[in-house]
Structure 1
Amino acid sequence: MKKSHFILVFLLILSLCNAQDKKQIDSLYKVVRTAKNDSIRFIAYNKIAFHYTFNDVKKAKEILDTAEKAALKANSKFGYAKLINTHGILMDVVGKSDSAEYYFSKALTLSQQSKFTELESFCINNLGMFYWNKGNFNQALVYFFKALKISEKTDTNGEHVAINLNNIGLIYQEMSLFDKALECHIKAYKLREKNKSMKELSGSLNNMGYCYKNLGQLDLAISTYKKGLKVAAESRNDIVYAKILDNLGNAYFIKKQYSESIKAYLEALKVVDKNTESDRSRLIVFSGSSASYNALNQPKVALNYANKALAILKKNPNYRSFSEELFLSAAQSSYQLGDYEKGKKFTDAFISLKDSLFSKNNARAIADLEVKYETEKKEHELASSRAIVAERELEIKRKNSQFIYLAIACLVFILIGYLFYNQQKLKNRQLKKENELRAAMSKIETQNHLQQQRLQISRDLHDNIGAQLTFIISTIDTLKLLDIPKEKLNQKLNAVSEFTVDTIYELRDTIWAMNKNDITFDDLKTRITNFINSAKSSQEHIDFEFSIEGNTNEKPLSSIDGMNIYRIIQESVNNALKYAEAKKIAVAIVKKSNSINIEITDDGKGFDTENAESGNGLNNMQKRAKELKASVKVTSENGKGTRVLLEMPV
């Protein structure tokens, strides 16, 4: 028993649009007259026009014409675009499809030009509904997917995403792709459940039940319908409540639980009497009830319901597309009651309506059925069985069509999957080559960086160690030529010896740095500790302290940077030893939020930083700090010690 889904969607939209009563309309007119803000004024205009679109078409047209002119005059781009979109809805309602498409397309262009994203989504959705109503399902899907893409980016709570998913699912139902339709409806259901959108939730459950029914999962369909009835009752959504009862009755009919089917139809009849769409709904319910009573072998009751439905059809000929089951059921009842003339009349009407689905053989089979009913004794039973056979043949043909569609869809998906697989395989191969090239470039860059560091250290060896060794050799050569007392000679030799020891230490430090690709603060800690311990052994009267606070090993240093830090600390401590006459020297490394601070302090005699001349030691420290992209600051006062602060950004 096939039902139209587009009309259900239209009714749902009507139930959700929150049409204003007279009091609310009057208040909106007051907003139009008094509002100083154009946006508020045209939103009120639009609500009034939308209300009259479904109540007074002429009034709605007058309001839209007036409001559109006012919006153009006020240069309200958003208000004008929104009114044009509503104008499209009005044209669709009055059946002017060409005009509806024109206004929807114009509203879409205006919203895109001004980047009104939410309004753009509404316009695209309306175009999808327009093509759906025309039966162009493929084009409708294109627009619904476009609307879904926009709403997924802009819709924070998923309300519009759910609407678009629901529409896509209903289109898939029209195309008999019930598995894909079910997937969309389940996604929409989860979003609506999350947002506690109870009215919309009942609609999703109805759609899910319909898909389960057509996929042959009748028990699951029935349980889903029952859940939908509960939600629809709680949210007072009578339209959906009646629709679910109708579908539930159909599910029970297919399952051959005819008494339950009749109960559902009768309950639906109580509900449809309360709403404006009662004629169409009654026709569907009466048709279903007639079929169920025929199945229970109660042709008189069945024909009574069929006649009620026929009276509605006579009053509303446009409902003919919902009447194929009605004609079949009326024919079966008439044959069972022996009224072969009426049976033939209803059979002809059924064949005429189902021309697109019935083959000539099926038509002949029904014609033969009439003859047999006239000549055989068990006319009533044969009429019933023939009607059931005809319906089964229709069901088989429908399932065959579904199978063909599914087979075609599977082939298309397999082809797409194969193409996607090949493309992904090619992409992975390209990514692999890019990664290999990137790794090779990184390796070369690292080697170049290490080579550059070693060249710099080599220059340091040449400039510092070479100069010191040259000085030692020059001093020894000078001593050979001078005739000086032995005591003074020993002093000179001791000085040369100390200088040589310092040179050896400096050479060891440089070699230590050269042998490392990178240096951590733990490495520096060991080196600085050895240096301080050596200083302690020669300067026992001085108290040395060394500490590290915080995680300083997050990022290793290059060998050059590590050597520069070590040299600055070494230079600062040596200066304190030589000139400060200090009792305490402290080295502290502290990790701050944005920097690593290295502080060398002493409690010595200090000096006047403004008047003091900068020696090689201080100049070297400044040079090394610059290479570190750090700052070094020396603060001191006479009698108050000296503080060297190296601040290195992380």
Structure 2
Amino acid sequence: MKSLFSLLILLHCFFYSNGQSETRIKAIDSITQNVLKSNIKDSLTIANANFTIGEHYRYSYLADSSYYYYHKAEKYYEKLGEKLQLARTLYGIAVIQKNEKDLTGSELTSIRAIALLETLVETNEVRKYKSFIFNNLGLVLDQLGQQEESIEYYKKSLKLKRNLKGNNANTIDNSVNNLALSYKNAGNYNLSIKTYQELLANENLKNVRPDFYALVLNNYAHTLYLSEQHEELPELYFEALKITDSVNPNGYNSIIINQHLAEYFFNSGNKDSAKYYAYRAKEISEEYHNDDLLKSLFLLSTIEEGEESAKHLKAYIKLNDSLQKSERAIRNKFARIRFETNQIEQENIKITKERFWLFIISVIVILSSFLLYLVITQRIKNKELQFIQKQQETNEEIYNLMLSQNESIEEARTMEKKRISEELHDGVLGRLFGTRLSLDSLNMSNSDEAIKTRSQYIDKLKTIEDDIRKVSHELNTDFVSGSGFIDIIKTLIETQAIAYQLDFKLEHNDDINWDSVSNKKKIHIYRIIQETLHNIYKHAQASQVKISFQLKNNVICLMIEDDGSGFDVNKAKSGIGLKNMNSRIKEINGSLQITSQIEVGTTVSIEVPIP
């Protein structure tokens, strides 16, 4: 069995060292199938054979075949409990997934491999594969746009690689280049330039690994370009391209350098050179992965104009991968958390519990706050209702006091009129009557002239007597019923007019029986007139105001007119005074209408039904 396995490995090495034509690959595959179909009972040998074939196909960029054999090896190693070999296999799968742009799968597979290696004793081999897997995670996360995490994984990889046994200069240089690339992608150009300069300072690098040296030089030049340090450009690009073409004409690295040259010349205003290098990058990239061709097409759509630009843009859209990096990053974030150390898992459980209790407490606090808000709101409403009720009671008391005061005044007037009437009747009339009798007694003189004179005086005294009796009678007559409320209104208007320096005119008739109007309505009418006069003084700048009362169809019609500045009724804000007026009108089932004209005046019309 061992001889067959060794023969298989030797055949693979022979064919791969002499090229990878389609015929040779088919021959290898045929030999591989025959070996694996042979009666080999050693599962570990079969697993190793599948792993080795998967490795060779991976280095040949035959992703489907490589994944197939890696997958078979994975199943064997998992059953056998070969953790180190399983981790190596998973690393290979992760690299394939990364190359095929399955970044989510590559990340998950890499973390699974790291989890396996964490359970093993840390030998040099374990540290080596850890460093490889960390480096792969750095590449994946960099493509996902998560540069900070990518940099951390590169640093972990370098730390392990620098402590490995043997000569690891090449793999260390690879990780350093990747680290500098992440710095560049993160926008940390100074640190990226410094890292590239450390690599380029190695004088043997150009001779020992010229293709890698050209790659580093191109990355360094592009970082200088992004940081707007163009002194050494485009010479560094040309040097990198020259070295790359000398090692591998039209190789993979040439694509990136040509793209960078096209970008540089386009932004420098040299469109001809930009087109030349952009088309060259496109031609070379057509033989490689679609991602590089995608970049070339997008670059050409930017450089070209008109129909040519549209053609390249359509090709770019057709080729564009539907998966977005941001979506992958979201899906992968939790996958990384699940495969972290047990300590992080415990912390996550603790955080979940804390969040759960925080949620419960938050719900309780919110419900309590809501209930407290309801209680406070209800109390405020109750206080408002109590205040309104007390205000109404106070208004009633004020009005009753005003009525009482007015009744006292009217009673005093009546008494005074009665006293004057009695004085006129009992005093003046008595004396006049006595005088008339005296004069009448003088009528005994028979002289014509005396008779005529006395008669004239007697007639005049009769006239005076009639006039005094008439005045006495009028003074003793009761005032018109219901005139008390109008007197209150007149007193209010007179007082306000004097205070506000207004000329007023009050018009009313006796059709309104104020005694049949409720006190509540009279109080609200009184307050509305008071508030309207205050608004006229405050806003209208009027000099005259007219207040009139009329009764129409058993409805009291009150109109208050001023000659003030007026306002736009549609644009005016509703202040607390107007709100109070509307509230009062609503309580007595009345209606309120305000009309106004600029520089003409304002009219407030109020209608209140008597019933």
TM-score band, normalised by the shorter chain? 0.3 to 0.5
Greater radius of gyration (CA): 2
Larger RCO (CA within 8 A; separation ≥ 6):
2
User: Normalising by the residue count of structure 1, what TM-score does the alignment of the two structures yield?
Assistant: 0.45
